[in-house]
Structure 1
């Protein structure tokens, strides 16, 4: 589980004219709010809760499986602009920092001018509580270690009225689509490799048809929901299998279909399970090696492609970059005089 930036843990330090971001004792994605703490509402009246500003996910932890790699090389954003505090929360945080005398008089004085003394904000905008929230950068909780994870942060928080967007934001502004993209990071596709008959663990035989298939339970759609309680935003990202592509690892093989692309069946499965009665019939999905591997192996590859779409709050939705995962298996192929399946 990775750390998520919250207002209670962010301290801005001015050192030699540079703005540094230091975190400690971080909250974590999926943590429950403290007793008596509300989850937040879209009107800006949020109880003091780091959870209101965290992006949380369902399921809370990524399940076992393989991350989905986008075919286009696209990756979700490393950070974005989002609410980080109510006026009272920001006041408590900054006064705590100033009280430690660790950031220096000059920096503290400049901060007080900005947030307290009316240049341009007065008393942390507490008189306008409920009319807006303080915004700043928020790291994608799935990409905390990325070099760009802190690139959205600004030295001064922006006071943003409800329904408005922050002025001159650094990086994208959080939307249902941004949440959908962050959920993409937590998609895990099943670990089950394709089933082969004969098994890939056995020595294959020249001119003996190999059947390949996946049961529908092995390639079921996978969904992850991301939520940002402070804005009542959510998005569900779903990866749906589209088909299987086979590569024999040698040009001396026939693929079925010839393209190597095995489509998804109507029931959600891929290919067809081999039964003894099929004998050496050509499979709907599979391959036939036409020469031996001469004591070595051929790199048999099976790639499952996935279509990715999302739906979100406010009737939003769309498609994201399709992804794939490749299963590799070294197979040995022998040549014998007679063939029996």
Structure 2
């Protein structure tokens, strides 16, 4: 895909996301994967996942390939993944083919084309697109975060002239950050989808609650479970796996005239991965480990009960890298009616 602005032609070879359902990863931990012809050789990654031999070497590919079902994770801070970064976009022959095709169209003007030829072909500073150095390096430019194509800043990393970077060398500074495993981990954050499970309540929120009657809240282990997305850039042989793990549940009754349990409203994760405990008849009106009690009626209206599941986000990547990313939340809101009756059968 090309973006034209006046005489500027920006080549974007890495915007498409692979539709393969397997993990794409050029073997080895160093730079300079098998980029000849843009295809990745067969093999496995550290986790034993087979490699997609049809994924383009410059594409950031994800596993799972399709965005999973569920709810996007909302970061608890103002942080967002980067809209773009600096990365390999072509080998010498690929860039030569692309640029010569643009020049043949004669749509960019003689002056601009001549400046391009001087830079890439005539030795000022590069000669014949560095064809003689094929296999020793790659051309770098901006690469769009494929999850943020609608972001106006997604093209802010692009330069008019690509940079020739020898394998293993540090690329020159660009208008965007240089791609790293951490950058890939941040891009995978966009594709995390957590279970959009509604918190179980007893009495159920769809029915009228009762003043002074304890409401139990819980989630089973199957309701909330860790989710992961892996991102890879085959041309550099780097990857990162981003994982969101549930931490607990926070309850907000929607009125100050209510008690929550625990008093902070923060219900922690149980050792088995669940939150709270389902109500049984034997519990009667005991105080629940996770829940709330309304102390007054909602009258002719309702109270906005909010249940927020909190998630911890971490990542691990190639070369022994890893760390934490901003935590996230999934909030579910429901209006509850509370009546002023002192006793009721569940």
TM-score, length of structure 1 as denominator length: 0.91
The answer for the alignment partner of 2:334 in structure 1 is 329
Give the structure 2 partner of residue 29 of structure 1: 17
Residue of structure 2 equivalent to 1:291: 296
Partner of 2:36: 47
Secondary structure in 2 matching 1:82: strand
Q: What is the alpha-carbon distance in structure 2 between the residues aligned to residue 27 and residue 121 of structure 1? A: 26
Unaligned runs of 5+ in 1: 1-8
CA offset at residue 158 of structure 1?
A: 0.2
Q: Deviations over 1:23-46 (max 9, x none)?
A: 79x97312359xxxx975643541
Q: 1:88 to 1:181 in 2, by over 3 A?
A: same
CA distance in 2 between partners of 1:188 and 1:91 (Å): 40
CA contact (8 A) 1:69 1:323 kept: yes
The secondary structure found in structure 1 opposite 2:107 is coil
Contact 2:302–2:335, Cα closer than 8 Å, also in 1: yes
Q: Deviations over 1:179-221 (max 9, x none)?
A: 0000000001101111001111111011111000000111100
Which residue of structure 2 aligns with residue 106 of structure 1? 111
Farther-moved stretch of structure 1 (59-68 vs 228-237): 59-68
1:184 aligns with 2:172: no
| Aligned-partner Cα distance in 1 for 2:12–2:166 | 27
Match 1:63 to one of 48, 60, 68: 68
Q: Secondary structure at the match of 2:223?
A: helix
Cα distance in 2, alignment partners of residues 31 and 53 from structure 1: 14
Aligned-residue Cα RMSD (Å) equals 2.0
Q: Which runs of 4+ in 1 moved over 4 A?
A: 20-24, 38-41
Give the conservation status (yes or no) of the 8 Å contact 1:67–1:186.
yes
TM-score using structure 2 length: 0.90
Q: 1:27 to 1:254 in 2, by over 3 A?
A: closer
Q: What pairs up with 1:129-144 in 2 under 5 angstroms?
A: 129-144=134-149
Give the match's secondary structure for 1:226: strand
Partner of 2:97: 92
